[in-house]
Amino acid sequence: MSGAMRDPVPTAKGKLPVLGYRLFWESFGSPDRGTVLCLHGGPGVPHGYLTCLADLTSFGYRIVFYDQLGVGKSDRPRGTSLFTIERAVEEAEGVRKALGLGRIHLLGNSYGGMLALAYAIMYQRHLRSLVVASGLPSVPVANAELRRLVRTLPSRVQRTIERLEREEAFDNPTYARAAMAFYRRHICRLPTWPRELTRAMGELSQPVYRTMWGPSEFAVQGSLRYWDITDQLPAIKVPTLITGGKYDEITPRIARSIHRGIRGSKIVIFPESSHLPMLEERERYMRTVGNFLRRHDGR
């Protein structure tokens, strides 16, 4: 099921002061059973591609999104020194407190999944449950997997990537086209990408993405390149669901490493999806996550 459904209409939105900057947020539905706070990926892709998760309002949840600092409609600071995962954890906590969300279900996708894991290690007392959607606990391991996937691309595409990376020609349009061959296999496999995904990818914050990650998904050169919290996963005691796609750039091998690290966690790999099963297998994804949330409402 693709993203061809009607755009959801937010029940509330605005700008929120957090750690000295104003962040854009919006929410959908009412918290009859609780609130889900969603953390977008990238780092640097605005949250719009995740608003499909507003489907979870049908299970009785308020779904809250925000654009992280330097991203989307949130403030853009001067320089890049504030773009760290440690500050982003405090930012997520600042959003939770400023909106008065109480104990939340936390869902993070991709880099947002890294952020959700780091938040859970620091602030799990504020969580009812955790959903790690194609997240990762180790960038070095993910980088090795990403490079392995690049080696499965058509040889012509591989040669183009290798040549342009050697030349550090990351802004060459040919590099972007070669990267897109990877993205269509391992980020979203729908024949036509939903417009909210195309829009969000087009609005990627380059200062955030390049500072923290790098010039492409599989050229990890940013400040996160050595980040690894695998050994801290056993500290997470809240109910946890790990989701991913069979063809995910954050591979099932990585999802299983989180599952091994968090005792009692559940794992679901979606067989027709890559990095965005919430778009690629939308109905099944919402059912899986909605049922998990309902089991852990603390009701």
The single residue of 105, 186, 275, 296 carrying the catalytic annotation is: 275
53: nearest Cα among 43, 45, 65, 44:
65
The single residue of 27, 74, 110, 265 carrying the catalytic annotation is: 110
Q: Is position 129 annotated as part of the catalytic site?
A: no
- DSSP-derived secondary structure letter, 187: T
Q: Are 251 and 135 in contact (CB under 8 A)?
A: no
Q: Is position 248 annotated as part of the catalytic site?
A: yes
Cis bond upstream, residue 43 (ω within 30): yes
Kind of pairing, strands 61-66 and 104-109?
unpaired
Burial class (CB in 10 A: 0-12, 13-18, 19+), 239: buried
The single residue of 74, 248, 259, 265 carrying the catalytic annotation is: 248
274 Cβ neighbours under 8 A, 6+ residues apart: 185, 186, 187, 188, 189, 245, 246, 247, 248, 249, 280
**Rounded to whole angstroms, how far apart are CA atoms 142 and 65?**
26
DSSP conformation letters of 191-259: SS--HHHHHHHHT--HHHHHHHT-SBTTB--STTTT-B-GGGGGG--S-EEEEEETT-SS-HHHHHHHH
Burial class (CB in 10 A: 0-12, 13-18, 19+), 295: exposed
Q: Is position 275 annotated as part of the catalytic site?
A: yes
**Rounded to whole angstroms, how far apart are CA atoms 144 and 218?**
9
Catalytic sites, residue numbers: 110, 248, 275
